[in-house]
Amino acid sequence: MRYAMALEYDGSPFMGWQKHDTGDTIQAAVEKAVSFVADAPVEVVCSGRTDARVSACCQVVHFDSDAPRDARAWVLGTNTRLPDSIRALWMQPVSDDFHARYSARARRYRYSLLIRPVKPAIKRQFLSWSREELDAARMHEAAQKILGEQDFSAFRTVQCQAKHPNRNLHRLDVSREGDTI
């Protein structure tokens, strides 16, 4: 049976999503926890890999298991085996053709930029920082010029595995609330 699960995590202690031998990863921690609940090895596929120290509010993953568990048991059991910086939010059975990455219709990203003379001490892992004043209204205006389908080749790494560099931006908002853009 195939399951979809949503995760939230503080990525600051991790070397990204994907398993590798050079440090702790979110995928390795999640697979270890889910495998414990399933009482068998389980591979987890995510909707999109994240880089080192990147956090997520609702990253969808999928996995296959024949273990007879209900949604509550999967979530609670997984959370007992995850580090404090990762939590399973929900889980539900899905059709066998569901794929966390390829079935996704859209993705949403939020970047927060703190504008003040002093670097933050609290929530620093979730913020970028600039001591220079920035004009959020002008940034928003400029951002509207890249809406629609665009070629993002200039932002790809050599190791990028995507089939093509085109992405369709449906919405891009830049706003300011207090000292945060």
Please give the positions annotated as active site. Answer: 51
Q: What is the number of residues in the chain?
A: 181
The tokens of 31 are what? 């697979």
Contact 35, 67 (CB under 8 A): no
State how far the Cα of 4 lies from the Cα of 69, in Å rounded to an integer: 13
State how far the Cα of 56 lies from the Cα of 97, in Å rounded to an integer: 24
Q: Name, in order, each residue with C-beta under 8 angstroms of 124's C-beta and a sequence gap of 6 or more.
A: none
